Structure 1
Amino acid sequence: MPHEVRGVVALGKGAPVAVHDIIVPDPGPGEALVRVQACGVCHTDLHYRDGGINDEFPFLLGHEAAGVVEEVGDGVTDLAPGDFVVLNWRAVCGSCRACLRGRPQYCFNTFNASQPMTLADGRPLSPALGIGAFSELTLVHSGQCTRVDSAAPPEVAGLLGCGVMAGLGAALNTAPVGRGDSVAVIGCGGVGSAAVVGARLAGANRIIAVDTDARKLLWAKDFGATHTVLAGGDTDVVAEIRALTGGFGADVVIDAVGIPQTWQQAFHARDLAGTVVLVGVPTPDLRIDMPLLDFFSHGGALKSSWYGDCLPSRDFPTLIDLYLQGRLPLDRFVSERIGLDDVEEAFARMGRGEVLRSVVMLGAVIPC
């Protein structure tokens, strides 16, 4: 029978989010019911609230989550109740042109649950990124559940569901950073700091963190940046990066902001035939006007990183294992643990740059 639980809902564009009673159906064929234990507060949730993704309100927010499988529907053979999982928004189909070419990380036909979750009055909810995990229970496609080692705390494991995976993957998968490379990361919030961690894990010998916020540069140093550049004012970011790389520019520059100014800085701050990776998500109105000759004369590669070009079934268990071995400091991304009623204020703290990640804890006592 359907389950009535509490979830964080955005009812209209720009309106403060609030906790509402929602109805979650039992899983149908190919679906899984997951009891959410922890879910990170991501910029993407704020974009949904503000109408920056689409206007399919009301939204059930939350997508960067880990929890335990409660029940599975017919035909699900690779999950069982009690499995500890990280939720993902790339449930690959296995049959589209990308999957058939051996590139499932670019799957063009990913799966979501077929049945809608609803408000108590019957209005269907649009789950953020097909997940909707600011809720005590959520209904997803079984392919959106990736089993990982349950020794990892849920507030740590869930970070792989979006932002941290995006940054790690931008460095490890999209670029990819090689041993001895020089790397610059522009924008050192959660995604950018994760890119710093990924560059360090890949063996970069010089990692330059760039941000307008000195506090974020300290975070980046803590995660392994070897040099920092405080942007803003009269600072010439391109010149600073070139000065730190022998005058040549970095082998890889990762733009974790996603605005024309930072992308152009990334473009010009790389070495000849270097790589630019855009992982910050632009808004639809942003444009770039540059001479086409610049693209030809600089050579190299200009890449966009979708979800860190990750394959959840491959990457999530591996990264959790690295965390459990003490080689990947995922726990240091958790700035605070909060409750469902605290999400709106968490958005404000995120906007002020006070946190890397606020994590909503569900069904557990929040540590002081």
Structure 2
Amino acid sequence: MPQTVKGVIARSKGAEVELVDIVVPDPGPGEAVVQVQSCGVCHTDLHYREGGINDEFPFLLGHEAAGVVEAVGEGVTEVAPGDFVILNWRAVCGQCRACRRGKPWYCFTTHNATQKMTLAEDGTELTPALGIGAFIEKTLVAAGQCTKVDADADAAAVGLLGCGVMAGFGAAVNTGGVGRGDSVAVIGCGGVGNAAIAGSRVAGATTIVAVDVDDRKLEGAKGFGATHTVNGRTEDVVARIRELTGGFGADVVVEAVGRPETYEQAFYARDLAGTVVLVGVPTPDQEVTLPMIEIFGRGGALKSSWYGDCLPSRDFPMLVDLYRQGRFDLDAFVSERIGLDQVEKAFDDMHRGDVLRSVVVL
């Protein structure tokens, strides 16, 4: 039988979010219903509320989540009721050209649930954020969006792997290929940037430079593994990174802001044959101009990283293991634990830079 539960929606562009009754259908073929235990408040959810993703309102917000599978539909073999899972928005198809080439982390045809969750008040279909929609007591997803992990892990911490932390860690390790002895600079020290810093430390980087314009964030970055900090408001970012890397520039620079000026800093702050990784999300109107002779003469690689080029079935369990071994401090990303009725306040706190991650706990 379909269930009616509480969830958080954005009804129209810029309107404050609402806690309403939502109808969750029984899982159909290839689908699963998950009882949500936690969901991080990610900046992407705010983008949805502000109409920055698309205009398919109303949105069921939330996507950075962990919980327990309650029921599965016909043909589901990946997970079973009772499994503790992290939700992901890259349920690979296994059939597209990327999957057939052995690069499923680039899958071009990822799966979402076929059925729609609806407003109890009038049956309006909801658009789930990133195909998940997890600011809700129970959500309907494609079974492939569920990645089973160790049930002893804290849901509020490991659920963050569902988006921002995985994006940052993967940008450094998967996309940037950070390895032992490398020098790394990370521009932007929010959740994604700090995850890139922490990933670089796990991978064995010896010089990790954190760059931001907020001294509070720079101080926090030290806890994730930054060996040096640069305040871009008061210091020449490129010159300072070069000074800290023997005059050469960093082997890998992760740009976690998504702005033309910070991307240009990343480009000039890398060593010859170094790598720039763009993981910060730019707006459609932003452009960057670089001299072609500099692109050619510096060599190396300019890359973008989407979801940290992750494969959830491979990366989530590995990162949970690192967390449980004390080698990857996911707890440090959790600034506060809140209820479903506090999401709007969490957006305000995010705007002010008062939190790294607010996490809704159900």
Query: 1:365: which partner in 2?
Result: none
Any residues of structure 2 matched to 1:102-121 within 5 Å, and which?
102-120=102-120, 121=122
Which amino acid in 2 is paired with 1:207? I
The letter for the 1-side match of 2:303 is: K
Paired residue for 2:183? Answer: 182
Which residue does 2:344 correspond to in 1? 344
Tell me the amino acid that sits aligned with residue 59 of structure 1: F
Q: Deviations over 1:273-314 (max 9, x none)?
A: 100000001111101122222211111100101100000000
Give the Cα separation in 1 of the matches to 2:274 and 2:152. 39
CA distance in 2, matches of 1:92, 1:78: 12
CA RMSD of aligned residues (A): 0.6
Cα distance in 1, alignment partners of residues 78 and 222 from structure 2: 41
TM-score normalised by L of structure 2: 0.99
The residue number in structure 2 matching 1:139 is 140
Question: Is 2:218 the partner of 1:257?
Answer: no
C-alpha distance in structure 2 between counterparts of 1:353 and 1:225, whole Å: 19
| AA partner of residue 211 (structure 1) | D
Kindly report which structure 2 residues correspond to 1:230-249, keeping only aligned pairs within 5 A, or say none: 230-233=231-234, 235-249=235-249
Q: Structure 1, residues 327-354: CA drift from partner, whole Å, max 9, x if none?
A: 1100110000000010011011111111
Determine helix, strand or coil for the equivalent of 1:272.
Answer: strand
Letter in 1 for 2:229: T
1:1-368 superposed matches below 5 A:
1-120=1-120, 121-233=122-234, 235-362=235-362
Quick one: distance in 2 between partners of 1:326 and 1:146?
Answer: 21
SS at 1:123's partner residue? Answer: coil
Code of the residue aligned with 2:32 in structure 1: it is: A
Q: Deviations over 1:84-132 (max 9, x none)?
A: 0000000000010000000000000000000000111110000000000
TM-score of the pair, normalised by structure 1: 0.97
1:78 shift after superposition = 2.3
Cα separation, 1, equivalents of 2:42 and 2:270: 29
Q: Secondary structure at the match of 2:123?
A: coil
Q: In the aligned structure 1, how far is the partner of 2:319 from the partner of 2:71?
A: 26
> What code does the residue aligned with 1:125 have?
L
Q: Give the partner amino acid of 2:279.
A: V
Residue aligned with 1:47, SS: helix
Tell me the secondary structure at the aligned position of residue 317 of structure 1. Answer: helix
Q: Deviations over 1:123-157 (max 9, x none)?
A: 00000000000000100000000000011011011
Name the SS of the counterpart of 1:111 in structure 2.
coil
Kept in 1, the 8 Å contact 2:78–2:144? The answer is no
Counterpart code for 2:350? M
Counterpart CA distance in 1 for 2:54 and 2:179 is: 37
Q: Provide the C-alpha distance between the structure 2 equivalents of 1:290 and 1:326, rounded to a whole number of angstroms.
A: 42
Q: Which amino acid aligns with 2:195?
A: A
CA distance in 2, matches of 1:162, 1:44: 9
Structure 2 residue identity aligned to 1:346 = A
Question: SS in structure 2 opposite 1:247?
Answer: coil
**Identical residues among aligned pairs (%):** 73
* Cα distance in 1 between the residues matched to 2:316 and 2:253: 24
User: Hey, what's the Cα distance between the residues in 1 that align with 2:79 and 2:216?
Assistant: 42
SS in 1 for 2:86: strand
Unaligned runs of 5+ in 2: none
| Cα distance between partner residues in 2 of 1:277 and 1:292 | 18
Q: Which residue of 2 aligns with 1:366?
A: none
3-state SS in 1 of match to 2:179? coil
Shift of 1:18: 1.2
2:229 match: secondary structure = strand
Give the conservation status (yes or no) of the 8 Å contact 2:88–2:145. Answer: yes
CA–CA separation in structure 2 for the residues paired with 1:70 and 1:162:
22
Residue identity matched to 1:310: C
Within 2, Cα distance between the matches of 1:77 and 1:206?
A: 44
Distance 1:153 1:329 in 2: 12
* Residue type at the aligned position of 1:226: T
Distance in 1 separating the partners of 2:336 and 2:88: 22
Question: Does the 8 A contact of 2:48 with 2:59 survive in 1?
Answer: yes
- Between the aligned partners of 2:274 and 2:330, the Cα distance in structure 1 is 28
